[in-house]
Amino acid sequence: MRSRQRMYSAVMRFFLKCLRIGQRRRFWLTRHVQQLWLYGRLCMRSLVYNSFADGDTALDALFEPIYWLVDHVTRWFGVVFVALVITLTSSVVVIVYVCLLPLVLQTYPLLWVFWHFIYGHWNLVMIVFHYYMAITTQPGCPPQQSKSDVVAVSICRKCISPKPARTHHCSICNRCILKMDHHCPWLNNCVGHFNHRYFFSFMLFMTMGCIYSSVSGWDLFWEAYAAIEKMKLLDKERLHVAANQTYSQTPPPTFSFRQRAFHKSIVYAWVLCSSVALALGALMIWHSVLITRGETSIERHINRKEKRRLRLKGKVFRNPYNYGPLGNWKVFLGVETQRHWITRFLLPSTHPPYGTGLNWDTPPCVAEQKAPLLAI
């Protein structure tokens, strides 16, 4: 009996010992897993930690494949868009020379012929010159060799190089652009410091040309439109008569091919010019507002955000590149004297813009303008 009791107590002691060991082992395992988890989390955080990481960065990362697709499509479609601009502009010019010019020479008084000849050709030269210069002139990039000379305000995350003031990275061109405005698919080029003036002048002269064509071709357009309507009516009547009568041949058309082509060309040119005048005119006015404020399209968004942020703090935002409305236009067009307005703005000119695009100090033409005010 006693031996049995001793055996039971021995078994119980062994069982309790096993339980204690198992408990200790289970705690050890839990602690080990916990330590591994903490270590892994620390490793992960130290690898991916970014003080700039926020909701916007996460959203950017999610949309990265879409941006990539849009960038590549825009890059390849740029060539198509440039071809489209050249084709459409050339078609209108051909219509003017083939259809309108003989008419103007025959019917208009000499003074009007002279005006149309001078103005039309000046406008055409300005459009062609500025478009050619806008697509062939490089917008400007920060120097790659002497990076120490660049007064940088930040570092480009894509190029890993210093970024001067007003410089932004273009994901389509895959490089940093000085005083970047935007990437224009119609130019297949970025609009930056060195070709911004050509881009704006192209818009301005193209709008002027389209308005001039639409206004001077107003009467002709309505005549051509009425003729086309008449043409359709006569064609319908002709087919109706042909269906009811037994002709050996269908009757000849009332309008010749030449007449049809003439009227349709006039309507096409007028509709195209009016549409371009409206769309491009609106864009040109918007860019005029930006230039008057001393901002680029990108800076417009940045400055608006900054203005809102400072307003909440009770501060007033001041654009550091705003030299006053007239000063901004002088800097933009690169005009310093009164003569320059004619030679550099109203005539084709390849003069470089003010400054290198790397530093933005107060230019001399603006400093002179402000001097009397400072003296007072």
Query: Minimum distance from CB of 137 to Zn ion (Å)?
Result: 13
State how far the Cα of 262 lies from the Cα of 94, in Å rounded to an integer.
Answer: 12
Residue 150's closest CA among 183, 190, 182, 178? 178
Binding mask 185-224 for Zn ion (x = CB under 5 A): -----x----------------------------------
State how far the Cα of 99 lies from the Cα of 123, in Å rounded to an integer.
Answer: 19
Query: Minimum distance from CB of 83 to Zn ion (Å)?
Result: 18
The residue ranges of DSSP E strands in 157-224, in sequence order, are 161-164, 168-170, 175-177, 182-184, 189-191
Residue with tokens 């004619």: 342
Position among 104, 156, 228, 290 found at the interface with Zn ion (CB under 5 A) = 156
191 or 277: whose CB is closer to Zn ion? 191
Query: Minimum distance from CB of 69 to Zn ion (Å)?
Result: 16
173 near Zn ion (CB under 5 A): yes
Which amino acid is present at 15? F
Residue 66's closest CA among 78, 54, 56, 74? 74
- Choose the stretch contacting Zn ion; rule: CB under 5 A; options: 142-150, 177-185, 252-260, 273-281: 177-185
* Count of chain residues binding Zn ion (CB under 5 A): 10
**Inter-axis angle of helices 325-333 and 257-293, to 10 degrees?**
120
160 or 243: whose CB is closer to Zn ion? 160
169 near Zn ion (CB under 5 A): yes
- Choose the stretch contacting Zn ion; rule: CB under 5 A; options: 158-166, 204-212, 261-269, 298-306: 158-166
Binding mask 98-137 for Zn ion (x = CB under 5 A): ----------------------------------------
354 sits in which H/E element: none
Q: Is 184 a catalytic residue?
A: yes
159 near Zn ion (CB under 5 A): yes
210-238: buried (b, 16+ CB within 10 Å) or exposed (e) per residue?
Answer: bbbbbebbeebbeebeebbeebeeeeeee
176 near Zn ion (CB under 5 A): yes
Query: Minimum distance from CB of 128 to Zn ion (Å)?
Result: 23
Q: Which residues contact 10 (CB under 8 A, 6 or more apart)?
A: none
Report angle CA 179, 190, 123 to the nearest 5 degrees.
100
The answer to whether 342 and 302 have CB atoms below 8 angstroms apart is no
Query: Minimum distance from CB of 51 to Zn ion (Å)?
Result: 20
Active-site residue, from 184, 210, 273, 365: 184
- φ/ψ of 153, rounded to 5, equals -105, -20
Query: Minimum distance from CB of 72 to Zn ion (Å)?
Result: 13
State how far the Cα of 231 lies from the Cα of 12, in Å rounded to an integer.
Answer: 114
- φ/ψ of 359, rounded to 5, equals -120, 145
Query: Minimum distance from CB of 75 to Zn ion (Å)?
Result: 9
184 sits in which H/E element: strand 182-184
- Choose the stretch contacting Zn ion; rule: CB under 5 A; options: 72-80, 142-150, 182-190, 342-350: 182-190
Position among 6, 158, 236, 311 found at the interface with Zn ion (CB under 5 A) = 158
Per CB under 5 A, contacts with Zn ion among 216-275 are: none
170 near Zn ion (CB under 5 A): yes
State how far the Cα of 99 lies from the Cα of 107, in Å rounded to an integer.
Answer: 13
Enumerate binding residues for Zn ion (CB under 5 A). 156, 158-159, 169-170, 172-173, 176, 183, 190
Please identify every residue annotated as catalytic: 184
